[in-house]
Each structure stands twice: as structure tokens, then as C-alpha cells.
């Protein structure tokens, strides 16, 4: 195995210069952290579908909340937390998103502790800055969904795992079991992370029997704690699924890497390449000589690291994503970039390991600064991008008359508009003309595929009577198809007359919409 030394020689500065540099570095670190914290509380004004769905479920009384979760396909922990939050702070967009922002901020001190445990004070600074500036984590810290909580719990559970490995007794085992159970009750993809952790523990049984057994016992206790929710999961597996997207398979790997860099912009691509190269460096950088008391930096070469921690980080990031992709093939289920939140902390920890491995502190600091600035720039650009046209549609509905009917095709456009629309409108969804405040994913594809758009149009026209009908539709939805919604509008036009397009679709908005007004009969 050949080694390629990467020695950087740096003259030792004087005491005053060293103190000034330390103050400057500290100020820059603080500024980056403050920017990352502030961006977690900045987002476009209106909630998009998943956020509005979360709020619609969380505001229900508890018995109805659990029923709604069965129809939604999610575990309960985040909804219960949001339920309590909404009861105190209300249902406004700023209020409900603040919970995710707070959870995202709480993750940063945990990242500091975990980075210090793994790589000392330098590792603590690097890992905290990487999490603070990552555009993917900033995005989901500003969104009313469970992903910010998921990241927080991954970090807390990782610290509990290190405690259980290092310390005997029941308390660390119970702490790890609680963390793992909370993960399972927050998002089902946590099961893939926990499965990888269990495999790592099994692999360590021969050389580190007692610590590995403590981890395995904790994971077993977490599985037992999940059992009360198992009937709901079985119902969801049988009746909800993911009808809104194609099966992901191993395409989840590039999907994850693209999401973790913040998208496809030039700055995001640069950030992604830097992250990937640093993660790879974390696996091939090996120490050749230690730092000297005279200030000479350590000598680092290229080889294959023997650090079990770094290989574990690779397994917990890449292994989790690959396992999830294989599971999606076996179960015919979709994958989404946001689901990969469960693997982001391990990936960024591996990126941090690569940065810490750099021999020259100045080179490492400069590269860290580049990664942090790129991350914050990508995140700052993203927070200005609207996520939905719900506000525009709701504003146009201010011109509707009391008793007018508003129909959504697909129903996935209903929750975000209905929370903003003026009162006194009859808001219904295709195909069953049910309430528009949230989506019922139960047997979703079957219900929509069996519907006759012409019959739905006739029923909708009869329901509206002598009132106007406003139809909100989207583009590119799998179920119901664009053709179904187009036929609905065509038949309504035959029954009611030529419609007026009130809102045009903005293709630059992910949750884009258009709205047509059909005259009163």
C-alpha cells in the first residue's frame, strides 16, 4: 500500500497574531452558526400539501388524530408533538413551522457533542458547522413535517449508542432503546437505519461481545416499544402505500446525494462534489506522523483507514439508503428525497471526518469555509422560492359568492388552499366530493381509478345548483391523472358553459395550480 504524504509546513505565528486569528475565526464560526439558525425560520408564506396535511391532522382531537394517521400512512410521534404545539401557539404558518425550526436548532448542540466525542474539539466545530449550513437540513427545519425531529433523534440516539457501548448497566441501554423507539415512531425509514446498526452490532459480537450485546438488547426493546403501533402499520401497508410516485429502487442513491447538496444549481453541484470528495477522504486518509510540540502539523497519507467509526458512518449513511432502495423494489413503494433525512447525519459526520483528516489546519479551515458558504448560499436562494400557489388561488377565491362550490382535482391540492380560502364556500374533492381539508390515502389509487370523471362532473354540477363552480387542478399527478381532471373540466364546460381561467399555472412552483370558474347554471 503506497502512501502519498501531504505535509503542510506553517510558520509559528506570534502570540498577538495567534490571538487575533483566534478571535477572527471565532467570529466567523459564530456568524455562520447564526446564519444557519436564522435560515431555519425563513420560508415562503404558504404551507404546501404535506405541511397543510400535517396541520390538519395535528389539530384533530386525539381519537380522530389516530384515525387520520392510519389514513395518512405515518407514525404518530411528530403529529402528537405538533398537536400539543398547535394547542399552545396556534395553526398559523409561522407558528407551526417554528416547531421544526426549534428542533433543527436543538440538533446543533448535539452535533457539537457527537463531533467532540468522535474527533475532539476540531471535530465538534466542523460537524456543527456542516449541519448548521447544510441546505437540505435548513429546508426541512423550515417545513411543518417530521424530518427535523428525525434528524434530532438520530443524533440523540447516536450519542446514546456511544454511551451504551462504553458504559455498563441498564441506564445507557434504556436510553438507546428510547431513542431507537422514538425514531421508529417518527418515520418508518428509521427501521433501515436501525437494521444497519443491528448488523454492525452483530458484526462486533466476536471482538466486542458485551458492548454489542447491550446495543442489540436496546434495539430489541425498541422493537417491543413499537408493538402497540403495529396494527396501524399493518393497516397502512395494506391500504395506503405511495400511489403518488413511481417505485424508486436504487435511484434513491443519486436522489439522496442531489437532495443533500440542495438541488441542481451550480453552487449546489459544487457543494455536492465537495461533500462527496471529503466523505471519500474520510475513508482513505491515514495518519503517518503525529503533530509535533513545535507546531508542525500531522503528516497524513492516502491508504485505507482502519477506523471502525468511519466505516460505521459509511454503513449508516450509504448502507441505510441502499437498504431502503432495495426494500422499495421488494414492496413496490416509492422513495422521496426527504425520507433520506435519516441518513444525513452519518453522511455529514463522514464529511467532517474527511475535513479533520486534512494535514494542514489552514487548508482544512479554508475548505470548511467554502463548504459552509456554499451551503448557506444555496439555502438562502431556496427560501425565496415559493412552494405552492395556494395563496394565489385563495386570494382569487375572494371573488367567489357565498355558497359557490370549489372542487379540487386532484384532492392533493385541497388542504393547502382550504386553510386559506374565505369562509362560506362548499369545498370538495374529486372523485367522491368529500371534504377538502386533508387527503385520505386509504385505497387511494383504487378509488380514483374506478371513478368516472363524467359522472363526477354531473354530480358536481347538480350539487352546485345555481351557484358557480371553481375547479382547482394541477399538472403531472399520477393519481388521478391529468386526463381525468381534464375530462372533468370538459364535461363541466358542456353542462355549464365555457369556463374562465382565473389562475394560471406557474411551472416554476413545485406545488403549482390553475383554477377555472364555471358559470352558475
Query: What's the Cα-to-Cα distance from 167 to each of 123, 175, 207, 212, rounded to whole Å?
Result: 22, 12, 16, 12
**What Rg do the C-alpha atoms of the chain give, in angstroms?**
26
Decide which of 294 and 357 is more confident.
357
Neighbours of 419 (CB within 10 A): 22
pLDDT at 307: 86
pLDDT at 28: 85
pLDDT at 243 over 80: no
pLDDT at 318 over 60: yes
Beta strands in 197-353 (DSSP E): 285-289, 299-302
285 forms beta bridges with 302
Of 168-172, 327-331, 437-441, which gets the smallest average pLDDT? 327-331
Residue pair 430/410 in contact by the 8 Å Cβ criterion: yes
Place of cell 449508516: 316
Rounded Cα gap, residues 224 and 169, in angstroms? 20
pLDDT at 19: 64
pLDDT digits (tens, 9 = 90+) for 28-43: 889 999 999 999 999 9
pLDDT at 390: 97
pTM of the model: 0.92
pLDDT at 360: 65
Neighbours of 22 (CB within 10 A): 10
Backbone angles phi, psi at 495, to 5 degrees: -80, -30
DSSP state of 405: E
pLDDT at 8: 34
pLDDT at 267 over 50: yes
Query: What's the Cα-to-Cα distance from 349 to each of 58, 116, 369, 373, 376, rounded to whole Å?
Result: 33, 11, 16, 18, 18
pLDDT at 16: 59
Mean of the pLDDT values across residues 263-268? 96
Q: Which of 380, 429, 379, 393 is nearest to 408 (CA)?
A: 429
pLDDT at 422 over 90: yes
Burial 60-96, CB ≥16 within 10 A → b, else e: beeeebbebbbbbbbbbbbbbbbbebbeeeebebeeb
Enumerate helices (H) and strands (E) in the chain, giving the number of each. 22, 7
Mean of the pLDDT values across residues 504-516? 94
pLDDT digits (tens, 9 = 90+) for 330-375: 888 888 999 999 999 999 999 999 999 886 677 888 899 999 999 9
- Three cell numbers at 12? 509559528
pLDDT digits (tens, 9 = 90+) for 138-170: 999 999 999 999 999 999 999 999 999 999 999
pLDDT category of residue 5 using cuts at 50, 70 and 90: very low
pLDDT at 429 over 80: yes
pLDDT at 7 over 50: no
pLDDT category of residue 296 using cuts at 50, 70 and 90: low
pLDDT category of residue 291 using cuts at 50, 70 and 90: low
pLDDT at 12 over 50: no
Query: Quick one: what percent of the chain has pLDDT higher than 90?
Result: 80
pLDDT at 303: 74
Domain layout of the chain by residue ranges: 54-382, 390-518
pLDDT category of residue 272 using cuts at 50, 70 and 90: very high
Give the strands of the sheet with 469-473, arranged side by side.
426-429, 405-409, 469-473, 514-518, 500-503
Query: What's the Cα-to-Cα distance from 112 to each of 166, 416, 425, rounded to whole Å?
Result: 19, 37, 51
pLDDT at 87: 96
pLDDT at 165: 95
The mean of the pLDDT values for the chain is: 91
Amino acid at each position: 500500500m503506497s502512501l502519498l504524504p501531504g505535509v503542510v509546513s506553517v510558520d509559528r505565528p506570534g502570540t498577538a497574531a495567534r490571538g487575533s486569528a483566534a478571535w477572527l475565526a471565532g467570529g466567523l464560526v459564530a456568524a455562520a452558526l447564526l446564519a444557519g439558525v436564522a435560515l431555519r425560520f425563513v420560508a415562503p408564506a404558504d404551507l404546501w400539501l404535506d405541511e397543510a396535511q400535517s396541520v390538519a391532522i395535528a389539530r384533530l382531537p386525539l381519537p380522530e388524530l389516530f384515525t387520520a394517521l392510519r389514513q395518512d400512512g405515518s407514525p404518530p410521534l411528530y403529529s402528537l408533538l405538533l398537536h400539543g404545539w398547535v394547542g399552545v401557539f396556534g395553526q398559523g404558518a409561522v407558528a407551526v413551522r417554528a416547531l421544526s425550526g426549534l428542533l433543527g436548532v436543538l440538533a446543533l448542540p448535539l452535533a457539537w457533542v457527537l463531533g467532540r466525542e468522535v474527533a475532539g474539539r476540531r471535530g465538534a466545530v466542523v460537524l456543527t458547522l456542516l449541519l448548521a449550513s447544510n441546505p437540505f437540513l435548513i429546508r426541512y427545519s423550515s417545513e411543518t413535517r417530521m424530518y427535523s425531529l428525525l434528524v434530532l433523534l438520530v443524533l440523540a440516539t447516536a450519542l446514546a449508542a456511544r454511551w451504551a457501548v462504553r458504559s455498563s448497566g441498564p441506564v445507557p441501554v434504556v436510553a438507546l432503546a428510547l431513542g431507537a423507539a422514538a425514531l421508529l415512531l417518527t418515520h418508518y425509514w428509521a427501521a433501515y437505519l436501525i437494521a444497519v446498526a443491528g448488523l454492525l452490532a452483530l458484526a462486533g459480537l466476536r471482538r466486542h461481545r458485551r458492548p454489542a450485546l447491550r446495543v442489540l438488547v436496546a434495539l430489541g426493546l425498541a422493537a417491543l416499544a413499537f408493538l402497540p403501533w403495529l396494527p396501524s402499520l399493518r393497516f397502512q401497508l395494506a391500504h395506503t402505500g405511495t400511489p403518488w410516485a413511481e417505485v424508486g429502487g436504487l435511484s434513491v442513491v443519486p436522489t439522496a446525494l442531489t437532495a443533500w447538496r440542495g438541488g441542481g444549481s451550480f453552487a449546489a453541484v459544487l457543494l455536492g462534489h465537495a461533500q462527496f470528495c471529503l466523505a471519500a477522504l474520510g475513508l482513505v486518509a491515514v495518519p503517518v506522523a503525529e503533530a509535533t510540540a513545535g507546531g508542525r502539523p500531522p503528516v497524513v497519507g492516502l491508504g485505507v483507514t482502519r477506523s471502525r467509526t468511519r466505516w460505521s458512518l459509511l454503513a449508516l449513511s450509504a448502507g441505510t439508503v441502499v437498504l431502503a432502495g432495495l426494500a422499495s423494489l421488494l414492496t413496490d413503494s416509492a422513495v422521496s428525497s426527504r425520507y433520506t433525512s435519516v441518513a444525513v447525519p452519518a453522511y455529514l459526520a463522514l464529511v467532517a471526518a474527511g475535513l479533520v483528516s486534512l494535514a494542514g489546519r489552514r487548508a482544512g479551515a479554508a475548505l470548511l469555509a467554502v463548504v459552509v458558504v456554499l451551503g448557506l448560499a444555496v439555502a438562502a436562494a431556496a427560501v425565496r422560492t415559493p412552494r405552492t400557489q395556494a395563496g394565489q388561488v385563495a386570494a382569487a377565491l375572494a371573488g367567489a359568492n357565498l355558497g359557490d362550490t370549489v372542487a379540487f382535482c386532484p384532492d392533493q391540492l385541497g388542504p393547502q388552499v382550504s386553510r386559506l380560502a374565505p369562509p362560506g364556500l362548499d369545498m370538495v374533492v374529486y372523485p367522491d366530493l368529500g371534504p377538502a381539508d386533508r387527503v385520505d390515502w386509504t385505497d387511494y389509487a383504487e378509488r380514483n381509478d374506478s371513478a368516472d370523471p363524467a359522472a363526477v362532473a354531473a354530480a358536481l354540477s347538480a350539487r352546485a345548483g345555481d351557484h358557480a363552480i371553481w375547479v382547482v387542478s394541477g399538472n403531472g399527478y399520477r393519481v388521478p391523472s391529468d386526463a381525468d381532471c381534464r375530462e372533468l373540466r370538459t364535461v363541466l364546460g358542456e353542462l355549464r358553459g365555457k369556463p374562465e381561467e382565473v389562475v394560471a399555472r406557474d411551472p416554476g412552483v413545485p406545488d403549482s395550480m390553475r383554477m377555472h370558474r364555471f358559470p352558475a347554471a
